[in-house]
Structure 1
Amino acid sequence: MSAIRFLLDENVAPLFRAELARREPAMIVWKVGDPGLPPNGTLDPEILCWCEEQGFVLVTNNRKSMPDHLAAHREAGRHIPGILELNPKMSIGETIDELILIWGASEPDDYRDMIVYLPLS
């Protein structure tokens, strides 16, 4: 079982979390906007700080501004467990398979301070 935990940004469809939980119940997958988490509308730099502090890999579909946000985060001397960028050309099933593979085969520091674009291969 992996120690990787995922935070889905608010623009990732809730179906992803439901399918991940159904297929891999031990996986920890939270979503921006859930009670006790950053609320919807939280700015990306704040979400990166939250992920750093709580040890969550961010799963997002924000390909435009996330590289700049990560660069600013790193320039401030901060770190993040990682960012996984969804690929709009992948089906939901393919994406779920990819996230389960990452969860099951990766160590928590494998994606530290990186943006990884899906699919891995």
Structure 2
Amino acid sequence: MKVRFLLDENLPPKLKLAVQRFNSDIDIIRVGEPEAPPLGTLDPELLNYLEISQRLLVTDNRNSMGGHLQDHWGKGGHIWGLVWLRPGGTIRTWSESLVLIWEITEVEEWLDKLDWIPY
């Protein structure tokens, strides 16, 4: 099964558009959209959503997400991947990296995995 993405709400909306310009088949939604968690969803609730929806989270939240992940895993939870965006990256670099993830990996490879983009 192909990777499906959830963009954190504080990321630029243009990132979703850039990814879809590369390939419109990529399933990517953003927090706050109708089919995604609402704006303001707390990290623990977001992690629960990711587990149920089998989506990989794309975020730049380096401050609190790590601790919430440890709590989530400590309770026996799982995630379908999380990538942090490196500071100073561009929408082009980030979108190219997400497209590459979609093209060469499957969702199962991301179970409980963390990474940074760009690589």
Cα deviation code 1:47-83 (max 9, x no counterpart): 1100100110000010111111111100000100011
Gaps of 5+ in 2: none
Q: Percent identity?
A: 39
Q: Give the letter aligned to residue 27 of structure 2.
A: I
Write out aligned runs for 1:1-121 (5 A).
3-120=2-119
Structure-2 separation of matches of 1:108 and 1:34: 22
Q: CA deviation at 1:119?
A: 2.0
**Helix, strand or coil: the match of 1:110?**
helix
Structure-2 separation of matches of 1:119 and 1:13: 16
TM-score, length of structure 1 as denominator length = 0.93
Structure-1 separation of matches of 2:15 and 2:73: 28
Cα deviation code 1:67-121 (max 9, x no counterpart): 111111000001000111011222211111111111101111222112211122x
Q: Give the letter aligned to residue 33 of structure 2.
A: D
How many pairs align? 119
Structure-1 separation of matches of 2:23 and 2:109: 20
CA RMSD of aligned residues (A): 1.1
TM-score, length of structure 2 as denominator length = 0.95
Q: Kindly report structure 1 stretches of 4+ aligned residues shifted beyond 3 Å.
A: none
Structure-1 separation of matches of 2:107 and 2:91: 24
Cα deviation code 1:15-70 (max 9, x no counterpart): 00011111110000001100132110000110110010011000001011111111
8 Å CA contact 1:67, 1:115 repeated in 2 = no
